[in-house]
Amino acid sequence: MSMQAKKRADYQPPVFTITDVKMDVRLHPTTTRVETTSQVKRLASEGNALALDGDKIQLDSVVINDQPHSDYQVVDGQLLISNVPEQFTLTIVNTIDPQNNRALEGLYLSAGTYCTQCEAEGFRRITYYLDRPDVLATFEVTLHGDKQQYPTLLANGNPIARGDNDDGTHWVTWQDPHPKPSYLFAMVAGDFDLLEDTYTTSSGKPVKLELYVDKGKRERGHFALASLKRAMKWDEDTFGLEYDLDIYMIVAVDFFNMGAMENKGLNVFNSKFVLADQDSATDEDFFNVESVIAHEYFHNWTGNRVTCRDWFQLSLKEGLTVFRDQQFSADMTSPLSNRIKHVRVMREHQFAEDASAMSHPIRPEEVIEMNNFYTVTVYDKGAEVIRMFHTLLGPQGFRKGMDEYFRRHDGQAVTCDDFVAAMQTATDLDLSHFALWYSQSGTPVITVSSVFDDSTGKMTVTLSQRTAPTADQRTKAALFMPVTFDCIDSQGNHYSDDDGLVKDGMVILDKSELTLTFSDVEEPLIPVILGNFSAPAKVHNDLNAAQLLNVFQYAHDSFNRWDALQSLYSWCINCYEQGTPEAVDDTIWQGLEAVLTGEADNHELLGECLVIPSFETLCQTRSQVDVAALNSARDAFCQAFSVRLAEPLKAIFNSISTSAYTYSQQAVNARRCRNQVLVHLARLDDQQGAIKTQFAQADNMTDTLGALKAAQAGQRQVFETLMEEFEQRWNQDPLVLDKWFGLHATTERDDILSQLTLLQQHPQFTIGNPNRVRAVVGSFAFFNTAGFHNLDGSGYKFVTDYLMELDKVNPQVAARIVTPLTQWHNFSPAHQQLMKTQLNRLLGVKELSSDLFEKVSKSLAYQSNSEQ
């Protein structure tokens, strides 16, 4: 393992390439034998040795053109083979140990299933290879395994032959005709239930669809399969993209580090993004299944057919594919709640990452451990950048750019610059300035300031932008941003600017400052910007409570309306923090009451507007946070909200009926709204009955969990009773139990650490399963604000102790969970000290993984903005 950073600027094309690979794999728990025969060709003249990547594998033999070859050595994990011809056949035999592979990278055996994960650099744990995305080869794979234990043997592409061996094993040969990089390689062996279907593409080609799930879980797979068909249709309709093999397989496994993986023709999924039925899955789970199924399917074009030249270009495929899955979800469900969901991710997580030691552009400049760069910046900010192209070009222009991208680059491994160049052909706008989004990190802040002149009736509104220095970059330049602009008065009239700079409700902010003028104005107008979150920026717009309520009432853009209430809540919480809760006066409560009564039938908008900003979101507009003070201010405001608005809240609750479960958008919105109202009612002593009734009567997991979440905010005794009942009902179903683990781990209580210890002793808990670890330790570190940030330091220490154990088992998951500790700079000096103490303990660990090393060492070296 290397602790050395690799730099984007140091990219070199490969010296050799591999065009064809034949693999023969004999599965065995501890000594799986892998024989790999590759056609190797020299591309560049300099350098003699062929350098192959390898990790944790046992080399048995090297053969070149059928002759044993001994001129090789293993140096720093690489196999250096000297004295090789210009073009040759290379056969390597090695063994690997899938059973003891608990990092879940490469080939591993968990819960009786063999499975692989190769992105980003896991293939080198299977055999020595040119494990880089710009080496594309066709693969033919023969898998041998015990016929009883592993009746299903899968690999990429189409099955071309199968048979039985004399020793009770059987074999299947798979051929993938599409050249691919090694990170898209996959194999699976197990004993599954199978769901089958077919899809006929728009040009009339039939495709076999196969979904493999754990025995007994077949009925929970139907929604995923239906989602796949919707995604296939959508990509044909929206982008003219058809599937390109005869068979598309999805395998759901319980042990998986991430959400899912787009291996060519053979997706592997974390079972939580496949299995869903009304009893065991919430509306949110259904949504996630559909969106992750679509995401992996869309990768077939954006990722597989056109792939990344090197890992610094990860956003080329991920930002684009996230944008595509977001558009799909918006079309399948509803645009507003989708947009709000993604903006919450940006504000709670991406802005925090940008303000931390791990700050990086969507196309990172340097990387120690690639696994650490599957980030909200690369994915979600990357998708926001693609969205800006879409906004600027319009749907047709964007489609034209995409067509050109595929025309130029199908079958190639390319860069983000190649993507921008293809998009450029679809527009007269100069996109060169836009390239800065790929190289500059940090969150731009747009400040709105206005001057109203009573005597002339003129008003000017100035938008200025600034990006603060980040850990990785000191100097910043002005970005190119499409900014929606709406200007209203207190009666709800809308105004146009004198010079027509605002076109179709949008202005381009491409310099540090821009001024708009308005004439014939009788009162200070209210500027409303960044509707639909048109650029990934923060906004400073000093509106008072009355103005924010005006925005809610009159703005054209629903996102702006929602956002105005979020700002109002944040302002109110600030009053509580400052010890002036009375500033939240009757006019404000009446305004909020008007929101509730006025929108009582708009369940989608109201459901979102009733969510008080999370602690994490509130942190983004505050510095040196005193956790207990902010937390109790937020609690106090929530309490007042429940008491002051009890009557309209009860009225809404009673107006939404709970009819038999269907997963339709209208029903989802109604349930979300009702459950959100219930959380507010739960803070009232006389409403505990409503929670118990809902829990007892629910015919679906959404309402069951809604009752539990409400109970978590309500009386402890009710919560405990319902949680016990839930555990008895679901203790044999780990995927459902994760919800219970998560609720326990995020409950505020004095004895939370002993509770966590109990959870870890639960029969279903194991450190080897990432879903369990995330549900217990991850939920605590990310979302149990009071417990994690306890000023006696015990929360930080608990997480750190656990990470020390976890790092030996699964460094990738450990490095994700360490994130909240690395964001010490958000908090007050006392917190900072305690957090850094724990980070230092981690850094002192012998044989710390490169994953944790990179994040912990960067975090400790970081001088936060306030210290600069």
Please report, as ranges, the residues that interact with ligand 7MK according to CB under 6 A. Answer: 119, 258-262, 295-296, 299, 318, 374, 379
Spatial CB neighbours of 513, under 8 Å, sequence gap ≥ 6: 462, 463, 464, 465
Single out the catalytic residue among 140, 296, 577, 616. Answer: 296
Task: Encode 229-274 in three state secondary structure.
Answer: HHHHHHHHHHHCCCCCCCEEEEEEECCCCCCEECCCCEEEEEHHHC
CB under 5 to 8 A by kind: which of ligand 7MK, Zn ion, none does 374 bind? ligand 7MK
**Beta-bridge partners for 21:** 38, 139
Name which of 302, 263, 294, 528 is nearest 412 in CA terms: 302
Spatial CB neighbours of 585, under 8 Å, sequence gap ≥ 6: none
Minimum CB distance to Zn ion, residue 821 (Å): 26
Specify the residue, 210 or 318, whose C-beta has the smaller distance to Zn ion: 318
Q: What is the largest CA-CA distance in the chain?
A: 98
CB under 5 to 8 A by kind: which of Zn ion, ligand 7MK, none does 140 bind? none
The dihedral through the CA atoms of 848, 851, 853, 855 has a sign that is: negative
- Give the separation between CA 362 and CA 428, rounded to whole angstroms: 25
Name which of 701, 613, 609 is nearest 649 in CA terms: 609
Give the C-alpha distances (Å, rounded to integers) separating 727 from 87, 762, 772.
62, 11, 15
DSSP, collapsed to helix, strand or coil, labels residue 400 as helix
Minimum CB distance to ligand 7MK, residue 170 (Å): 31
Specify the residue, 35 or 380, whose C-beta has the smaller distance to ligand 7MK: 380
CB under 5 to 8 A by kind: which of Zn ion, ligand 7MK, none does 259 bind? ligand 7MK
| Helices 558-577, 335-345: crossing angle, 10 deg rounding | 40
Minimum CB distance to ligand 7MK, residue 260 (Å): 5
Specify the residue, 253 or 528, whose C-beta has the smaller distance to Zn ion: 253
Specify the residue, 315 or 704, whose C-beta has the smaller distance to Zn ion: 315
In the chain, count H helices and then E strands: 30, 31
- Could you say which DSSP state residue 129 is in? B
* 854 belongs to the catalytic site: no
- Give the separation between CA 148 and CA 168, rounded to whole angstroms: 8
Length of the chain: 868
Q: Which residue has the tokens 């599409």?
A: 178
Spatial CB neighbours of 446, under 8 Å, sequence gap ≥ 6: 463, 464, 465, 481, 483, 509, 529, 530, 535, 537, 538, 539, 540
Give the C-alpha distances (Å, rounded to integers) separating 181 from 91, 123, 158, 311, 820.
19, 10, 17, 12, 34
Using CB under 5 A, count the residues that bind Zn ion. 2
CB under 5 to 8 A by kind: which of Zn ion, ligand 7MK, none does 418 bind? none
| Helices 586-598, 558-577: crossing angle, 10 deg rounding | 150
Specify the residue, 317 or 360, whose C-beta has the smaller distance to Zn ion: 317
Q: Is 395 exposed, middle or buried (0-12, 13-18, 19+ CB in 10 A)?
A: exposed
Give the C-alpha distances (Å, rounded to integers) separating 150 from 141, 192, 193, 281.
16, 9, 12, 29
Minimum CB distance to Zn ion, residue 491 (Å): 47
Q: Backbone phi, then psi, for 85, in 5-degree steps?
A: -70, 175
Specify the residue, 782 or 796, whose C-beta has the smaller distance to ligand 7MK: 782
CB under 5 to 8 A by kind: which of ligand 7MK, Zn ion, none does 223 bind? none
CB under 5 to 8 A by kind: which of Zn ion, ligand 7MK, none does 348 bind? none
- Give the separation between CA 709 and CA 698, rounded to whole angstroms: 14
- Give the separation between CA 263 and CA 250, rounded to whole angstroms: 10
Minimum CB distance to ligand 7MK, residue 326 (Å): 13
Minimum CB distance to ligand 7MK, residue 374 (Å): 4
Name which of 407, 413, 363 is nearest 385 in CA terms: 363
Minimum CB distance to ligand 7MK, residue 181 (Å): 12
Strand arrangement of the beta sheet that strand 192-200 belongs to: 192-200, 206-214, 247-253, 266-270, 260-261
Minimum CB distance to ligand 7MK, residue 642 (Å): 36
Give the chain's end-to-end CA distance (angstroms, integer): 33
Minimum CB distance to ligand 7MK, residue 5 (Å): 21
Considering only residues 296 through 325, tell me which ones interact with Zn ion, judged by CB under 5 A.
Answer: 318, 321
- Give the separation between CA 435 and CA 430, rounded to whole angstroms: 10
Minimum CB distance to ligand 7MK, residue 272 (Å): 13
Instruction: Give me 455's structure tokens.
Output: 């005597």
CB under 5 to 8 A by kind: which of ligand 7MK, Zn ion, none does 261 bind? ligand 7MK
- Give the separation between CA 565 and CA 571, rounded to whole angstroms: 10
Minimum CB distance to ligand 7MK, residue 410 (Å): 19
Minimum CB distance to ligand 7MK, residue 119 (Å): 5
Q: Contact, 539 vs 583, CB < 8 A?
A: no
Minimum CB distance to ligand 7MK, residue 262 (Å): 5
Specify the residue, 119 or 134, whose C-beta has the smaller distance to ligand 7MK: 119
Does the N-terminal peptide bond of residue 120 adopt cis geometry, omega within 30 degrees of 0?
yes
Instruction: Give me 192's structure tokens.
Output: 């599954």
CB under 5 to 8 A by kind: which of Zn ion, ligand 7MK, none does 119 bind? ligand 7MK
One character per residue 320-349, x = contact with Zn ion (rule: CB under 5 A): -x----------------------------
Helices (H), 435-488: 436-439
CB under 5 to 8 A by kind: which of ligand 7MK, Zn ion, none does 55 bind? none
Could you list the active site residues? Answer: 296
